[in-house]
Amino acid sequence: MNAPFLIGTNIYLRAWERGDAPAVVAWLNDPEVTQTLAKHHPVNVSAEEAWIAAAYGSERDLPLAVVTKESDRLIGGTGLHQIDFKDRHANFGIFIGAKAEWGKGYAPEATALMVRHAFETLNLNRVWLKVYEYNRRSIRVYEKVGFRREGVLRQDHFHEGHYWDSVIMALLRDEWEAPPRGL
């Protein structure tokens, strides 16, 4: 493992490194990967390197790379964003960019690692997210970890010629501390 920050069973989360940029650029320019992300323009290596360099200047964001333990391979990214230390909440995001790794359980594990860090280390009370209604796979992941639907932003997202709802989901600390969620 290369400088792990949070360690799970099959993956670990670490800081982004400049050398990660080419892999991320390939993922973020792949429409199959980005169809569930709020991304609307292509990226290049220099822009991604600049994002990586700037990512750690913010006290309100905690972006991390998702890496497999077995092969030490970068497969995606996750993060807590817009961290509010007064009201004790943050926005959560995740993507697995390496399509060969989809469906292997890495997203729920990374999500659980980030949520545990949010509640047990950062002392947050609420972690929330926005997910597009057509992203049923991610909705199942979030529900498996314990997130609950809070509301819907009707026709909030335009994708492939249609308007889609965005689902707002959140997990509260006391819900996280409830009996195990089956992970």
Domain boundaries, the chain: 4-176
Q: Helices 106-120 and 136-145 meet at what angle, rounded to 10? A: 40
Nearest to residue 39, comparing CAs of 10, 3, 72, 77?
A: 77
- Quick one: CATH architecture of 4-176? 3-Layer(aba) Sandwich (3.40)
* Max avg pLDDT among 42-46, 62-66, 179-183: 62-66
pLDDT for residue 168 is more than 60: yes
The more confidently predicted of residues 149 and 41 is 149
Residue (of 131, 126, 130) closest to 115 by Cα position = 126
